[in-house]
Amino acid sequence: MDVATVTLEPWSPWPLLFPLLAVVAGAALTFLGQLRGRRWMRDIGAIVLVAGGLTAVLLLAFLSGTWDQAQRKDALIDLGYEQPTFGGGTGIVGGQPGDIDFTAVRDGEPVTGTLQWQGDDQWLVVEGSG
C-alpha cells in the first residue's frame, strides 16, 4: 500500500466579482430609470440585476467543485497516476471533508485508493484502500 501527501490549493471566489458588479450595475440602472421615468433603463436594469444574481448563484454552485476536481486530478497525475477518476466521498462530516475514493492506472495496472484529509490543504493519498 503506497502513501503520499499532496497539497490541494483551495478555490478562490474572485470570479464572483463580475456577476456581483453586474448586480450592482443592474440595481443602479433600475433605480436611475425609476427616478428619471425611463422605462427602457429600468427594464434593462432589472434584466441585468436578475441575470447577475443567477450567474453568481450558478458560479458558486459549479466553480468550486470543478476547481477541486481539477486540483485532485492534477495532484494524482503529478504522483504518476494516469486517468484518475473519483468516486463519491462521504462529503463534509462534522465540519471536515470526508475521504474521497479514486481509481487510476499506475505503471499499466489499475489501482484504487482514497484521498484522506489531513487538515488545511493537505491530503494523504492512500493506494489500495478503495
Cell for 53?
A: 444574481
**What is the value of pTM for the model shown?**
0.69
Query: What whole-number distance in Å separates Cα of residue 61 and Cα of residue 68?
Result: 12
- pLDDT by residue (tens digit) across 63-94? 888 888 899 999 999 999 999 998 866 566 55
69 - beta bridge partners? none
Which stretch of DSSP H or E encloses residue 22?
helix 17-36
